[in-house]
Structure 1
């Protein structure tokens, strides 16, 4: 279909082609070197208009094409709130983390998050009782795990989640969007620690639900995260959680260091920031 549409454009059967580049790494989808050479003159003349979901993704496309003009730009996805349920007032007596997304080949970072929780609990065991009494309970919910026979990673995640966290770990099978949103609404902190993302709609929906963000620097973090206001920056997450990430979550647990009043204010800020994405109009791009 891509080849056919470009052929129509090049021979004048259509005057303009609008292309939304959802793939974070375009060279994986279009590996042949002829693609940048073919697309570049069409972009320069404006016959081809390309849009990508985030500032982060834009950089990848600019490098791939060798082009940084206005005909290649960012078009953030619109937040569709029609199916998103209303939530209760935020409650931060406990920290209820969730990671939403299928396990797949490990891209979403489930293992990284389990390691973070393990390090956090190890640190709790090494802390004196006086400080421990001020620590919030931590819960973790994996939302959207596969349940088919071939989903070996998902099975491992369920096993190790329970082994590390006991009854404070829970999971939900991959289902419809409405069920996913209901599960997300029960949490109060959304974690995005993927190896690669183009934007992360799950993070955006979580913001609307009043979830704070723990966000690494993959696609969408520039637009979504206001560090210290609606969540916290995890930086460039490595294979294992570092001391900085462990210390961050440990401080979030401590009611003396991070009172519930502060977390509630951040929850309100997350919801407010998500409203920007409700007002996005694709017509601004398509009618340009």
Structure 2
């Protein structure tokens, strides 16, 4: 291939912040492209952009699918740009500056950094799984985990692990703990496995599972730290099974919910004996920390995964 040969394409459309957050939080958009959203004008909710990177020239179906993600851009013409022989994933994350949360720094290949003193830097490239650390839900979870650093933790589970980032943070904070990372999507588990190698992380059990219903998850329970960065609907549906795998007084970190959904999520967990301990609001998004009850919760009946109306984890 010559140096100026086209090997990838970029489609750019304007969008709003609300549309960008919906794209970031979506589970499976069934679009064969890496989607990146960014702020065009600082603190302007209406001036954002969507960049979609792909290996093939976009056809009418692809352009229509991208337009459907950003209804506010109905009158805008997509900007289609052919890219020369460069790594399209690297291009897609060129605007992702490193983020810092407590003792953690998260960066992409395009922006390598040194870890802070006594801290840890994680390399998480954008790709097929949610959780680069740049979304408010993921960065908020990192901050919440950092606030628990002085707590004694021996058993951790990260439900809906995405890229594995939160499980990696838990492994750093509690190096002797048993850590399990699960996801409903096998691709996310494959990404987590690759990220473990890239970050020299080991000792994490990886499980493809629908929520907390897997025998492999139950066999390692109870957990004294449960992390679930998914969506409000799944969190509400899963509350009994999450409470059931939590040890008495366990810390439960929940994210992926909007502030407007907080009360309903908290109520679902309070019905299972949990109590709200801390809230971290980041824009429209909210991260919660709850404490499990003083005795281990036993559901009235076994949860039925078929009753969830097709919910999906936020990857």
Normalising by the smaller structure, the TM-score range is: 0.3 to 0.5
Higher relative CO (Cα under 8 Å, sequence separation at least 6) belongs to 1
Per the normalisation by structure 2, the TM-score is 0.33
TM-score, length-scaled by structure 1? 0.35
Instruction: Report which of the two structures shows the higher radius of gyration computed on alpha carbons.
Output: 1
Higher helix share: 1
Q: Greater share of strand residues, 1 or 2?
A: 2
